[in-house]
Amino acid sequence: MKRISILFVCMGNICRSPLAEGILRQLVAEAGLTGHFTVDSAGTGGWHEGEPPDRRSIATAKSHGIDISGQRARRIRPSDLSDFDLILAMDRQNLAALGKSARPGANIHLFGEIALRTGEDIPDPYYGGPEGFELVYTRLLAGCSSLLETLGVERASCSGNTSSVR
């Protein structure tokens, strides 16, 4: 079975994308599929490179039994655009930024379209309080659960072909 690699992208890689990475890693581990997935996150901007996730993201994840404190922010690299099977932007602004540097046919999508099937942006909770981080966590959990279910069903029926998410 082909290993599936997923990259979550937000602006600074300290709020939304680290939460999504932590959530999907946890779900994959709980499903016993750790060896079948590579999960990472990055930002379109490099302001926070090398820093841990925002303390509120860490606290929100921790309150749900997920430890993201060891993650470090990084800016997306050109190689990411070809190395990952699926790249999911948290909002349209980051989707547009990714699209400017991507090769034609790159597998870049809006998280809300692929994972939630609503087309919604995942709001940036950076300038708000804990309730915004909890709302983001809830949307990311719903989307990551749906994404894993979709990929799991496909994997079982198509021997690892991820073409339906492309």
Q: Is 92 one of the annotated active-site residues of the chain?
A: no
Please give the single-letter amino acid code of residue 49.
E
Q: Is 16 one of the annotated active-site residues of the chain?
A: yes
Tens of pLDDT along 112-151? 999 999 999 999 999 999 999 999 999 999 999 999 988 8
Model pTM score: 0.91
CATH 3.40.50.2300 for the 4-165 domain, yes or no: yes
pLDDT at 40 over 50: yes
Give kind and range of the element (H or E) at residue 37: strand 37-43
Mean pLDDT of the chain: 90
Q: Which residues contact 102 (CB under 8 A, 6 or more apart)?
A: 81, 108
Q: Is 67 one of the annotated active-site residues of the chain?
A: no
Q: What is the mean pLDDT of the segment spanning 74-100?
A: 96
Quick one: pLDDT at residue 1? Answer: 52
Of 54, 91, 121, 124, which residue is the catalytic one? 124
Q: What is the mean pLDDT of the segment spanning 12-32?
A: 96
Give kind and range of the element (H or E) at residue 84: none
